């Protein structure tokens, strides 16, 4: 019995990985990092431990939403071989690489990690507002796919995900560093929100046929082609927000650097091909789903580096708390 338990325990991390979709956790973790460093750059002071705790909390809650979605897909038989993305870090429950017990334990574990880091952050900063927002974030992560009325079933999924995963997490991260909400931090948060909307929209559009009769997403309301075309005005709004951020906070070269990222990751590697799609096809989600995630990686990754470099060039002060 003990040997069997040890074998199960040793193999658990590998099985847990197959239901976590670790890569999309960075869709929250990286915006929190870049927004926190942006806020530190603005005020000339970096609070290291609060930033690290919030990154852990946000990343964990994103994984909670992912695992909850895996559990729902398994219980409702929403996935099969024709819909697999062939990514080893997801769909493990449906493929049989992990069990329902593995998924539930992973869910509880990530709730624990995110919850404890969030509670510690709220305690350190003596903030009931952070505690309240953390509870709402956890509730949003769980009810994304689980519960009597999960909002993944409705056309509001893209907006709610964008609001919590990108927008609020980004805004709160900069607020923790600056102690205030300003036009530049709001604009930076809007960029994060819109990038998350791109990610959710692309996945929902790729699942257009699969979701028929199961859930009603925004593409079902506005139509397949319109769900692709709506990205254009959303991107124009993103460019306006980026212009505001740079006019209020950065030198001209940072603005041009950001435009270069958008040109490469938004247009060249994603939208120029995505725009041409006239009808859904089986491999669409697999081919285009990850591309907005790469935009998130590159923009927030580079912004983190730029803000950190500018922070030290301006002789910013580093504090643990």
CA 67 to chain centre: 14
Residue (of 21, 25, 24, 11) closest to 98 by Cα position: 11
| DSSP H or E segment with residue 241 | helix 231-249
pLDDT tens sequence across 22-48: 888 888 999 999 999 999 999 999 999
Residue 267: predicted pLDDT = 96
The answer to whether the CB of 97 falls within 8 A of the CB of 15 is: yes
The answer to whether the CB of 124 falls within 8 A of the CB of 321 is: yes
Residue (of 46, 302, 63) closest to 174 by Cα position: 46
Residue 84: predicted pLDDT = 61
| DSSP H or E segment with residue 318 | strand 317-319
pLDDT (tens place) for every residue of the chain, 321 residues total:
778 888 888 888 899 899 898 888 888 999 999 999 999 999 999 999 999 999 999 999 999 999 998 898 888 887 666 566 666 667 788 888 888 999 999 999 999 999 999 999 999 999 999 999 999 999 999 998 888 888 888 888 888 888 888 999 999 999 999 999 999 999 999 999 999 999 999 988 988 888 887 788 899 899 999 999 999 999 999 999 999 999 999 999 999 999 999 999 999 999 999 999 998 888 888 888 889 999 999 999 999 999 999 999 999 899 998
Residue 86: predicted pLDDT = 63
pTM, 2 dp? 0.93
Q: What angle separates helix 22-43 from helix 2-20, to the nearest 10 degrees?
A: 60
Burial label for 206, CB within 10 Å (0-12, 13-18, 19+), is buried
Measured in Å, how far apart are the chain's first and last C-alpha atoms?
47
Backbone angles phi, psi at 179, to 5 degrees: 80, 10
pLDDT tens sequence across 178-188: 999 999 999 99
Residue (of 218, 228, 205) closest to 274 by Cα position: 228
Strand partners, 317: 45
Tell which phi-psi region holds residue 181, choosing left (phi > 0), alpha (psi between -120 and 50) or beta.
beta
Q: Which two tokens stand for residue 117?
A: 């880091």
Backbone angles phi, psi at 146, to 5 degrees: -110, 165
DSSP per-residue letters across 183-205:
HHHHHHHHHHHHHHHHHHHHHHH
């Amino acid at each position: 019995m003990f040997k069997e338990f040890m074998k199960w325990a040793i193999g658990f991390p590998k099985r847990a990985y197959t239901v976590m979709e670790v890569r999309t956790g960075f869709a929250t973790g990286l915006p929190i990092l870049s927004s926190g460093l942006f806020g530190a750059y603005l005020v000339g002071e970096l609070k290291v431990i609060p930033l690290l705790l919030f990154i852990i909390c946000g990343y964990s809650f994103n994984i909670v939403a992912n695992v909850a979605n895996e559990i729902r897909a398994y219980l409702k038989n929403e996935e099969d071989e024709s819909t697999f993305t062939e990514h080893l870090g997801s769909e493990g429950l449906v493929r049989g690489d992990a069990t329902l017990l593995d998924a539930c334990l992973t869910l509880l574990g990530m709730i624990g990690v995110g919850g404890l880091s969030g509670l510690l952050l709220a305690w350190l900063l003596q903030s009931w507002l952070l505690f309240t927002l953390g509870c709402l974030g956890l509730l949003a992560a769980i009810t994304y796919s689980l519960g009597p009325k999960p909002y993944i079933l409705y056309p509001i999924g893209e907006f709610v995900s964008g609001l919590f995963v990108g927008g609020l997490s980004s805004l709160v991260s900069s607020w923790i560093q600056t102690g205030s909400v300003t036009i530049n931090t709001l604009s930076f948060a809007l960029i994060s929100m819109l990038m998350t909307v791109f990610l959710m929209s692309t996945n929902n559009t790729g699942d257009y046929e699969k979701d028929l009769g199961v859930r009603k997403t925004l593409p079902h309301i506005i139509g397949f082609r319109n769900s692709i075309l709506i990205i254009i005005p959303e991107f124009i709004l993103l460019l306006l927000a980026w212009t505001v951020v740079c006019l209020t906070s950065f030198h001209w070269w940072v603005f041009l650097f950001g435009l270069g990222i958008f040109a490469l990751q938004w247009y060249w590697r994603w939208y120029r091909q995505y725009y041409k799609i006239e009808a859904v096809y089986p491999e669409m989600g697999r081919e285009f789903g990850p591309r907005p995630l790469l935009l998130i990686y590159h923009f927030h990754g580079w912004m983190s580096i730029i803000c950190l470099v500018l922070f030290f060039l301006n002789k910013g002060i580093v504090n643990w708390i």
